[in-house]
Structure 1
Amino acid sequence: MSILLFLHRWVGVVLALFMLVWFSTGLSIAFIGSPTIDRAQRLAHAPALLPQDGWLSLGEALTASAPARAQAVKAGGGGMGGGGMGGGAARARADHGGAKSERGVADARLLRIGEEPVWLVEDDAGRRFALSATTGALLEFDREAAERIARDWLGAPSLLYLDTVEAAVGLRNAEALKPFHRFAVGDAAGTQIIVSARSGEVAQVATRVERAFVYAGNWLHLFRWLDALGAGDYRRDALTYAGFFAAVGAFTGIVLGWIKWRPGFFGRPTYARGRTQPYRESWLKYHFWAGLIGGTFAFGWAASGFLSTNPGQIFSQATASREELGRYRGAGLPQTLREWRPSATLGLSADVVELSWSRLGEEALLIAQSRDGARRAVSAPGAVASLGEPALLAAAERLKEGAAIAGAETLADYDSYYFANHRQTALDKPLPVLRVDFADAERTSLYIDPADGRLLAKFDTSRRAYRWLYSAVHHWDFGWFRNHWLWWGWMGVWISFGVALSASAVVLAWRRLRRSLPAPQAASGEKRESRAAQTA
């Protein structure tokens, strides 16, 4: 009992303010969306593609830009992506020149950025390049070009350039897009727009209030302020330890609360002097009841927050590795993908804003994307009309080399592992999907988009456990509940209990800290003099 009390008391003293900030920022995250531009917004603002004769094929653009891309990678540019590919490996690729980079194309899209037709290419190391579809030059978007793109997006006659930054608040997983040009609209709402200097894509449009909520949400909640202090390398460790000790504080509080609680139903006194609760002082009563009612949820959020950082790598990785994705796509680019040239004879409607290549093995598929998100296959010499199930299964087998397929099923609706949350659309999580289950020790399942062959998700036994221990507990994103209006009320009520619990903990921690600190010498002397005067 004494050990529990000691742990609860002093963990609370150290982390009470942190917990108050964590729960308060959790409210912002739960109810305020991110100002980051999503796929649907990007398509809605995209200009019509309308291909013209004389545009280059993907292979021609890659060949023409190979020296510039190799130089950009050597210089540390080229949109180095995060997520598992270290700088050493990337430099090794660059040192071999541009010839091999063609075989490492992970994604290739033809679109207009401003008035310029561009092949937007991502290689298998996560680097992103914008290649001119008319000259093959590697494009960089300077301040003037970025301002034109931003004006077109907003329909604004003029913008005020602010700065060019390596990172922007509220942008996640955007390493391949940096640096960013920032512009102010100059309106009453304080709107700012951010454009990638690497790809020319608009990354964020946010008002002053939206930026404030980003600071009051993810920036504080996920310790992004450590990045601003130059201590970003320690952010994950800080989150891990904070989450662990917060869970310890919450758990010991639950145990102590249940030990102390002697329920007196219908007002029946169960404590000394006719009381029905263990504490007389207001803040202690407040803390006791908030913990008794909401402590289990506070513990669940703290413990799942601790697990979210994957401490000690106890869970498998969230996505397929670069090597696995390379095997999935297959080695080399199909000839038709390298040689096909866009032209006016395609006869695409003005609603088509993008053409993209998808490939699995030797099969290549050309897809037209409309402004409303609709996709359709486009006829091209040597290209297939669709990626059939045999090609999808063969790609899945390449990824899990040596493992046999146990079953495959086309899902017309979401399941417990592949689903869209309340802020995602069918563009983010398309349906139907092909789920391929393997008979391996990890019981791996792959979720594949049959429309374009993309690998959408990968789950094994470890990742399924993570889904329930972290995501389900932290976000309550399961079953029908995740997109029901009841979710909003449920989250609001229990996060509010967490705020109340941690606010009372701050007051009690401050009191405990004041009592524990030695009194200043001057104050001690005054007290002695006062006592002496009273005695005299």
Structure 2
Amino acid sequence: MKRYFYLWHRWLGIGLCLLMALWFVSGLVMMYVGYPKLTPREHLAQLPALSAEDCCVPLAQVLAAADERQAPAAVRLTTVAGQPRYLLRYGQRVLAVDARSGQRLAGVDEQAARAAARQFAPGRGVSYQGLLDEDAWTHSRALDADRPLHRVELDDGTLLYVSSHSGEVVRDATASERSWNWLGAWLHWLYPLRGGTLDRWWGDIVIYLSLAATLMTLLGIVVGLLRWRFAKPYRSGARSPYRGLARWHHIGGLAFGALVLTWIFSGLMSMNPWRLFTTPTPLDMAAYQGAELRADAFPLPAQQAITRLREAGLNARELHWRLVGGRAYLQGVDASGATALLPADGDGTLLHGLTDAELLRAAQAIRPQERLQVERLNAYDFYYYARAEHSMLGHLERPLPVLRVRFDDPAQTWLHLDPRTGSVVGRLDAGQRTSRWLFALLHSWDWLPLLQNRPLWDGWMWLASLGGLLICLSGTLLGWRRLRRRPRPSPSRARPARSAGRRDTLYP
């Protein structure tokens, strides 16, 4: 049985060690440079303040122009290509309505894409590169509602991607980000397999490669322990029977093998294999709004809201129409992300947040007969915390304080509610909390004592990654030597005696 452990570890290692080494190198790059994305901070920074002059048509006219049977999930007023525009989201679709004329935009052409790029980067030269569905920097499913995308290049090499439906810049990718990403996220997530004939099998390929690498690492730990003399050393006096590169691989595997195993296994878990963390009955959030987003719920005109917000000291870059527990608000957001709420009934009261009681009434409507468990978070904890902006989910806002509301639904859902805006800033069900342990903790070491003391987190990640590289690169070289080895002599020939403690291969 032991021999099969050796053989499986050997041949899996020959096939996978180089790939694992690339995973470690690309992981180190991703610690500092993430996959390109447009963060909320970048989005707000390029917007001019909304003007109440010559703006805006009533919401009823906007919804009529959209000509949709159902109410939109979200409505906001922003500036696109220098013009005020309503953007309405219906599930995975985005519709745009001109805020001055009230006409629905049928599509976004090259000229509009150039104008959007000039608003994003005023004074810069732009070069239009065409319409595309997907490329190396736009694989994210978050962009599906905006496809196809116009690609525009700035004179400094930055690529901007403009939605063909809304006209907004929805992603930017600087030349520096793209250069590092060829060695970072693009390589780490095996994106060379995306966009071609293998695209439909990309997820399965990553899952089964990770599964094979997990098995290889586990077998390596078993083999390493079997070959280590804990009580009595070998005749050479060493605890390991190997020498040279094989000894480095053996000792490195014993020292860092458990960390490598957790990294590979947690990488597998990041793919949600076989939908292990998917909740079959997610919590129905429709009742939290308390009503559909209809025009009659918002009698306060947009231009009046803009004026009131400015008088109160908030120069709104965007307006959001929001319903919480059946009550309607217009939410203004300025360039820094600061917000304020105006009740849409037009009573003139400026709010800097909602009370806990208002939020709980809205949450209770989701499951009226249930007693909710509620706590107020004034500091981050294991399940609610912020990451660096460039990290995979670091662009998602994690404000404090928040209310955590726990439900007793089949999915055991937790909601995190932002008192400033009434929005749901986080939703965690039992599967997602399990993924928090098996992916985020084991893969990125999202542990507050480390995250809040970055030199410690960086040092730990570098040490562990270099240990993993030692194992993988030495395994790659040993595998290469094995493949170059001459065929063994015929079984009829006598095999030379082996001297204990003098072997330089990991396998019998």
Give the alignment's TM-score, normalised by structure 2.
0.85
**Which aligned pairs between 1:288-327 and structure 2 lie closer than 5 A?**
288-317=250-279, 324-327=284-287
**Which aligned pairs between 1:54-133 and structure 2 lie closer than 5 A?**
55-66=56-67, 98=68, 100-101=69-70, 103=71, 105-123=72-90, 125-133=91-99
- Following TM superposition, by how much is the alpha carbon of 1:251 offset from its aligned partner in structure 2, in angstroms? 0.9
1:355 counterpart residue number: 319
Give me the whole-angstrom Cα distance separating, in 2, the residues matched to 1:474 and 1:291. Answer: 18
1:146–1:195 CA contact under 8 A, matched in 2: yes
Q: Which of 153-162 and 337-346 deviates more?
A: 337-346
Q: Partner amino acid for 1:509?
A: G
Give me the whole-angstrom Cα distance separating, in 2, the residues matched to 1:36 and 1:346. Answer: 29
2:14 counterpart residue number: 13
- Following TM superposition, by how much is the alpha carbon of 1:467 offset from its aligned partner in structure 2, in angstroms? 0.8
Which residue of 222, 243, 260 maps to 2:189? 222
Matched, 1:37 2:3: no
1:352–1:370 CA contact under 8 A, matched in 2: yes
- Following TM superposition, by how much is the alpha carbon of 1:263 offset from its aligned partner in structure 2, in angstroms? 5.7
1:51 counterpart residue number: 52
**Helix, strand or coil at the partner of 1:182:** strand
Matched, 1:332 2:292: yes
- Following TM superposition, by how much is the alpha carbon of 1:388 offset from its aligned partner in structure 2, in angstroms? 4.0
2:299–2:345 CA contact under 8 A, matched in 1: no
Give me the whole-angstrom Cα distance separating, in 2, the residues matched to 1:30 and 1:352. Answer: 34
Matched, 1:500 2:470: yes
Which residue of 233, 239, 244 maps to 1:270? 233
Matched, 1:478 2:478: no
Q: Partner amino acid for 1:206?
A: A
Cα pair distance change 1:227/1:518, threshold 3 Å: farther
Q: Partner amino acid for 1:359?
A: L
- Following TM superposition, by how much is the alpha carbon of 1:297 offset from its aligned partner in structure 2, in angstroms? 0.9
Cα pair distance change 1:496/1:199, threshold 3 Å: farther
**Helix, strand or coil at the partner of 2:194:** helix
Q: Partner amino acid for 1:333?
A: L
- Following TM superposition, by how much is the alpha carbon of 1:240 offset from its aligned partner in structure 2, in angstroms? 1.3
2:303 counterpart residue number: 343
Give me the whole-angstrom Cα distance separating, in 1, the residues matched to 2:409 and 2:128. Answer: 55
Matched, 1:22 2:23: yes
Which residue of 206, 217, 228 maps to 1:250? 217
**Helix, strand or coil at the partner of 1:457:** strand
1:405–1:436 CA contact under 8 A, matched in 2: no
Matched, 1:145 2:107: no
Give me the whole-angstrom Cα distance separating, in 2, the residues matched to 1:191 and 1:335. Answer: 40
**Helix, strand or coil at the partner of 2:23:** helix
Cα pair distance change 1:60/1:516, threshold 3 Å: farther
1:367–1:378 CA contact under 8 A, matched in 2: yes
Cα pair distance change 1:157/1:224, threshold 3 Å: closer
Matched, 1:431 2:400: yes
**Helix, strand or coil at the partner of 1:151:** helix
- Following TM superposition, by how much is the alpha carbon of 1:411 offset from its aligned partner in structure 2, in angstroms? 1.2
Give me the whole-angstrom Cα distance separating, in 2, the residues matched to 1:474 and 1:345. Answer: 45
- Following TM superposition, by how much is the alpha carbon of 1:337 offset from its aligned partner in structure 2, in angstroms? 4.2
1:287 counterpart residue number: 249
1:45–1:153 CA contact under 8 A, matched in 2: yes
- Following TM superposition, by how much is the alpha carbon of 1:326 offset from its aligned partner in structure 2, in angstroms? 2.8
1:52–1:344 CA contact under 8 A, matched in 2: no
Give me the whole-angstrom Cα distance separating, in 1, the residues matched to 2:295 and 2:121. Answer: 40
Q: Which of 166-175 and 474-483 deviates more?
A: 166-175
Cα pair distance change 1:382/1:156, threshold 3 Å: closer
Cα pair distance change 1:517/1:113, threshold 3 Å: farther
**Helix, strand or coil at the partner of 1:377:** strand
Give me the whole-angstrom Cα distance separating, in 1, the residues matched to 2:294 and 2:128. Answer: 43
Give the alignment's TM-score, normalised by structure 1.
0.81
Cα shift readout 1:512-534 (whole Å, capped 9, x = no counterpart): 23448899xxxxxxxxxxxxxxx
**Helix, strand or coil at the partner of 1:216:** coil
Give me the whole-angstrom Cα distance separating, in 2, the residues matched to 1:454 and 1:517. Answer: 67
Q: Partner amino acid for 1:270?
A: P
Give me the whole-angstrom Cα distance separating, in 2, the residues matched to 1:205 and 1:410. Answer: 36
1:363–1:387 CA contact under 8 A, matched in 2: no
2:122 counterpart residue number: 155
Give me the whole-angstrom Cα distance separating, in 2, the residues matched to 1:333 and 1:207. Answer: 37
Q: Which of 288-297 and 161-170 deviates more?
A: 161-170
Identical counterparts, % of pairs: 31
1:260 counterpart residue number: 227
The structure in which a higher percent of residues are helix is 1
Q: Partner amino acid for 2:334?
A: S
1:460 counterpart residue number: 429
Q: Partner amino acid for 2:458?
A: W
Q: Partner amino acid for 1:137?
A: Q
Which residue of 140, 143, 147 maps to 1:178? 147
1:211 counterpart residue number: 178
1:51–1:344 CA contact under 8 A, matched in 2: yes
- Following TM superposition, by how much is the alpha carbon of 1:22 offset from its aligned partner in structure 2, in angstroms? 1.6
1:405–1:437 CA contact under 8 A, matched in 2: no
Cα shift readout 1:349-408 (whole Å, capped 9, x = no counterpart): 383211111113421111111111110113543578554444433433444x47623321
Cα pair distance change 1:232/1:325, threshold 3 Å: farther
Q: Which of 146-155 and 245-254 deviates more?
A: 146-155
- Following TM superposition, by how much is the alpha carbon of 1:430 offset from its aligned partner in structure 2, in angstroms? 1.4
Which residue of 172, 175, 193 maps to 2:160? 193
**Helix, strand or coil at the partner of 2:420:** coil
Give me the whole-angstrom Cα distance separating, in 1, the residues matched to 2:13 and 2:227. Answer: 18
Q: Which of 448-457 and 467-476 deviates more?
A: 448-457
Aligned length: 474
Cα pair distance change 1:135/1:308, threshold 3 Å: same
